[in-house]
Homo-oligomer: A and B are copies of this chain.
Amino acid sequence: MAEHSAAAEETGGPRSDCSAPTRIMLAVNQSSIKGYPNPSISSMNAFHWVVKKIIQPPTRSHFKLLILHVQVPDDDAFDDTDSLFASKEDFQTIKHGDQIRGVHLLQHFVHECNELKIPCRAWVRKGDIREVICKEVARAHPDMLVLGSRGLRTIQKIFVGTVSEYCVKHVDCPVLVVRRKQEDAPEDSIED
């Protein structure tokens, strides 16, 4: 699964070569309703928007999608409340399980890129979503960061916060925020 393990080659300084592909980093997450390996509505929406509107067929090889999934440690711990922990090895197994779930999520996107012949790389990182995205942008130097957004109303944002607002202010590259379409929103808009 070379597509998933190639984060290391995405490092380097800012690109200035005119002939270099436009490297678009897309941060994706799992569905808050269905869980792994299903992608969130916002992530799928952002991915499809970029593929349809930016990466036009004759120039697909002029682009490269860098697909990042950040796993939040607290969520993972919650997923494993039924597990029995008795040794170091048990935790190792969980870690491996988390990794697998993240990789399965990425498979959706990598598979679609392969079908469309869009060059891509995908990888998983753990930690605080906002901090990890900023760190990965600083490390991989994409030309652009794309984030799906649920388009929450003001009152909801107070409690939920938004990753996109933080990233627009803090990352050192252009940021595209793709809000979820109204017709794709579930009844409870906190869900995704």
Contacts and interface: CB of A to CB of B under 8 A. Distances in A.
Interface in A145-189: 164-165, 168, 172, 174-179
Contacts of A179: 172, 174
A22 B175 contact: no
A54 B22 contact: yes
A144 B53 contact: yes
Contacts of A49: 174
B175 A177 contact: yes
Contacts of A143: 53
A157 to B, nearest CB: 9
B52 A62 contact: no
B59 A56 contact: yes
A13 interface: no
Nearest to A173: B179
Interface of A: 18, 22, 49, 52-54, 56, 58-59, 62, 143-144, 164-165, 168, 172, 174-179
7 contacts: A22-B53, A56-B59, A56-B62, A58-B58, A59-B59, A168-B168, A175-B177
